[in-house]
């Protein structure tokens, strides 16, 4: 199973259990649906209800990205793994302030663990910033509500970003501050693009479980977003995406030529840059580690689904939730 990324304009068609992609220049690509887990559309695409019905049958999600390459929405087939019991218990935990705070704290503890894991590889240069984050970590257990916890998490991020240049060994790139809307430099462009990929990866894994992706704990549940994806993504952004960005820059796989500027203010990865980025992202997601509890090789992508299963066990009272903390 793999994710399929489409960058060229065209049309998606169905014939039996096969996907046909017809590009505007007449090129045809054939992909058996059984090999596709998610479709990512970065271009203008036409498709009909017959194609959508095939995706419904095979449980394939489509994720759409806007002109700038950032996530804009998804088509999710009707969930087959549903449980009214699990959903009620999930809602009970978000409605109970103490239970909600506990789960939100777990997400923040995990994020801090992986942030410190990245920084400790540069211990000598970042010792002061590491100590500052350790002080914030002690405040997590003292937070009385989620807004206070979000404030602590925000301070950790700001401190972490101060140390990014020490983790980058390429003089062509320099980070000043986090700028999201819009990103104004290459590193911000990579962070924003990478966060979109992590968000959709988490959403796809949530879909395979009984969890409701709109009921969240750290981020406020919203009516127009899958906010649980944002919660779980906090665990994996420093673990997967930040390390990926540092590697691409330090190995010079991504260079200045892989970016473009729009109106001299908005910096984006160009098509070639996105393809390089996505290829390495997929390689990273397929990378496996020996799981201590399962006693078998487990991919980074499946680690995301394991977090979903751990949350379900917590909701139904089987086992207290402890967010992932990389041990390898």
**Residues within the annotated binding site for Mn(2+)?**
153, 219, 234
Distance CA 320, CA 188 (A): 36
β-strand pairing of 18-23 with 10-15: antiparallel
Distance CA 254, CA 46 (A): 31
Residues of each annotated binding site: 153, 219, 234
Cβ contacts of 288 within 8 Å, gap of 6 or more: 297, 298, 299, 300
CB atoms within 10 A of CB 66: 11
Per DSSP, helices labelled H in the chain are 49-58, 84-95, 97-119, 123-140, 146-162, 164-167, 186-207, 227-236, 243-250, 271-286, 300-315
In this structure, are residues 304 and 199 in contact, taking their beta carbons and an 8 Å threshold? no
Three-state DSSP class for residue 262: strand
CA torsion, ordered 270, 197, 249, 301, to nearest 10 deg: -140
| 203, 212, 277 from 200: Cα distances, Å | 5, 15, 15
């Amino acid at each position: 199973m793999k994710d399929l990324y489409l960058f060229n304009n065209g049309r998606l068609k169905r014939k039996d259990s096969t996907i046909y992609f017809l590009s505007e220049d007449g090129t045809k690509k054939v992909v058996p649906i059984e090999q596709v887990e998610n479709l990512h559309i970065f271009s203008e695409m036409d498709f009909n209800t017959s194609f959508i019905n095939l995706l419904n049958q095979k449980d394939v999600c489509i994720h759409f990205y806007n002109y700038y390459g950032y996530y804009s929405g998804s088509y999710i087939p009707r969930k087959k793994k549903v449980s009214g019991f699990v959903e009620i218990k999930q809602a009970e935990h978000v409605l109970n302030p103490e239970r909600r705070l506990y789960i939100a704290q777990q997400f923040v503890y995990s994020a801090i663990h992986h942030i410190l894991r990245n920084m400790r590889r540069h211990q000598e240069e970042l010792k002061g910033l590491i100590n500052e984050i350790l002080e914030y970590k002690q405040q997590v257990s003292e937070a009385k509500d989620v807004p206070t916890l979000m404030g602590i998490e925000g301070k950790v991020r700001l401190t972490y970003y101060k140390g990014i240049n020490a983790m980058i060994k390429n003089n062509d790139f320099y980070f000043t501050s986090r700028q999201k809307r819009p990103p104004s430099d290459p590193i911000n462009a990579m962070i924003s693009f990478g966060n979109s990929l992590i968000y959709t990866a988490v959403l796809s894994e949530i879909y395979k479980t009984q969890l409701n992706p709109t009921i969240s704990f750290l981020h406020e549940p919203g009516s127009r977003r899958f906010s649980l994806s944002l919660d779980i993504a906090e665990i994996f952004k420093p673990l997967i995406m930040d390390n990926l960005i540092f590697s691409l820059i330090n190995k010079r796989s991504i260079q200045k030529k892989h970016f473009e500027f729009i109106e001299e203010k908005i910096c984006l990865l160009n098509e070639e840059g996105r393809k390089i980025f996505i290829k390495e992202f997929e390689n990273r997601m397929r990378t496996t580690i020996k799981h201590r509890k399962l006693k078998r090789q487990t991919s980074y992508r499946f680690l995301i689904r394991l977090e979903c299963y751990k949350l379900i066990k917590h909701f139904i009272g089987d086992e207290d939730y402890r967010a992932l903390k990389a041990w390898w």
